[in-house]
Amino acid sequence: MRPKTLRDLDPAELRGKRVLVRVDYNVPMDEDGTVRDANRIEASLPTLRYLLEHGARPVLVSHLGRPKGEVVPRYSLAPLAPVLERLLGAPVQFMAETDTDAAVEATRQLEEGDVLLLENTRFLPGETANDPELSRRLARLGDLFVNDAFGSTHREHSSVVGVADLLSPAVAGFLVESELMAFAELRNPRERPFVVAFGGAKISDKIPLIEAFLDRADAVLIGGAMANTFIRASGLGTGASLVEEDALDVAAGFLARPEHRLSLPTDVVVADAGEPDAALSSIVAVDSIPADRAAFDIGPRTRETFAHAIGESRTFFWNGPMGLFEVPGFDSGTVRMARAAAEATAEGAFTVVGGGDSASAIRQAGLAGAVSHVSTGGGAALEYLAKGSLPGLDALDRIGI
Measured from the CB atom, the residue of 158 and 241 that comes closer to ligand ADP is: 241
Bridge partners (DSSP) listed for residue 317: 196, 352
Q: Is 5 in a helix, a strand, or coil? A: strand
Choose the contact partner of 358 out of Mg ion, ligand ADP, none; CB within 5 to 8 A by kind.
Answer: ligand ADP
Q: Is 217 in a helix, a strand, or coil? A: coil
Measured from the CB atom, the residue of 127 and 357 that comes closer to Mg ion is: 357
Which conformational region is residue 69 in: left (phi greater than 0), alpha (psi within -120 to 50 degrees), or beta?
left
Q: Is the bond leading into 11 cis (omega within 30 degrees of zero)?
A: no
Which run of H or E residues covers position 387? Answer: helix 379-387
Which residue is catalytic, options 17, 18, 40, 261?
Answer: 40
CB 191 within 8 A of CB 159: no
When asked if residue 189 is in the footprint of ligand ADP (CB under 6 A), the reply is no
Helices H / strands E in the chain, number of each: 15, 17
Q: Which among 169, 205, 217 has a CA at the least distance from the CA of 313?
A: 217
Beta strands in 341-392, from DSSP E residues, in sequence order: 350-354, 373-374
When asked if residue 277 is in the footprint of ligand ADP (CB under 6 A), the reply is no
Choose the contact partner of 333 out of ligand ADP, Mg ion, none; CB within 5 to 8 A by kind.
Answer: none
How many whole angstroms separate alpha carbon 162 and alpha carbon 158?
4
List the one residue from 3, 67, 189, 200 that touches ligand ADP (CB under 6 A).
Answer: 200
Smallest separation (angstroms) from ligand ADP to the CB of 31: 20
How many whole angstroms separate alpha carbon 159 and alpha carbon 60?
10
Which residue is catalytic, options 2, 49, 136, 202?
Answer: 202
Measured from the CB atom, the residue of 69 and 356 that comes closer to Mg ion is: 356
Smallest separation (angstroms) from ligand ADP to the CB of 329: 13
When asked if residue 225 is in the footprint of ligand ADP (CB under 6 A), the reply is yes
Q: Which among 290, 347, 345, 297 has a CA at the least distance from the CA of 321?
A: 297
Q: Residue of minimal CB distance from Mg ion?
A: 357
Binding mask 285-304 for ligand ADP (x = CB under 6 A): ----------xx--------
Choose the contact partner of 321 out of ligand ADP, Mg ion, none; CB within 5 to 8 A by kind.
Answer: ligand ADP
Choose the contact partner of 341 out of Mg ion, ligand ADP, none; CB within 5 to 8 A by kind.
Answer: none
Smallest separation (angstroms) from Mg ion to the CB of 353: 13
Known catalytic membership, residue 239: no
CA distances from 259 to 177, 187, 249, 325, 344 (A): 34, 19, 18, 31, 25
When asked if residue 323 is in the footprint of ligand ADP (CB under 6 A), the reply is yes
What is the C-alpha R_g of the chain? 23
Known catalytic membership, residue 366: no
Q: Give the strand pairing for 267-272 and 282-285.
A: antiparallel
Measured from the CB atom, the residue of 126 and 223 that comes closer to ligand ADP is: 223
CB 356 within 8 A of CB 380: no
Choose the contact partner of 239 out of Mg ion, ligand ADP, none; CB within 5 to 8 A by kind.
Answer: none
Known catalytic membership, residue 162: no
CB 80 within 8 A of CB 27: yes
Please choose, out of 85-93, 106-114, 195-203, 279-287, the segment that lies near ligand ADP by the rule CB under 6 A: 195-203
Provide the binding-site residues for Mg ion, judged by CB under 5 A.
356-357
When asked if residue 229 is in the footprint of ligand ADP (CB under 6 A), the reply is no
Residues that bind ligand ADP (CB under 6 A): 199-202, 224-225, 242, 295-296, 319-321, 323-326, 355-358, 378
Active site residues: 40, 202, 356, 379
